[in-house]
Amino acid sequence: MASFFTLSIGINEYSSLGKIQNSIDMKNQILKILALFLFMITFTGCSVIGDIFEAGLWVGVIIVVLIIVFVFWIIKKLL
């Protein structure tokens, strides 16, 4: 089995099939680099969305605190 693997590697290195495989490997590597670059550009936009949600979180906290204060104010007025 090992000799067949060695033989097939030797054939692929010196044949046109080996050149085609190397070309495909290079294209795959370029596609991986482009995908990584695309993800890096895309995820910077996610930080903006994260900031918007963080601001929304604080607005929600302030509203909840105001509602609690209002409820306590109403209870105090009734007693």
Tell me the per-residue pLDDT of 2-23, one tens digit each, with 9 for 90 and over: 455 455 555 555 555 556 666 7
CA dihedral (61, 62, 65, 67) in degrees, to 10, reads: -110
Q: State both tokens at 27.
A: 């294209």
List helix spans (H) across the chain: 2-14, 16-78
Task: Supply the pTM of this predicted model.
Answer: 0.40
- Regions of the chain where pLDDT drops below 50: 1-2, 5
Q: Which residues of 24-62 are buried (b: 16+ CB within 10 A; e: fewer)?
A: eeeeeeeeeeeeeeeeeeeeeeeeeeeeeeeeeeeeeee
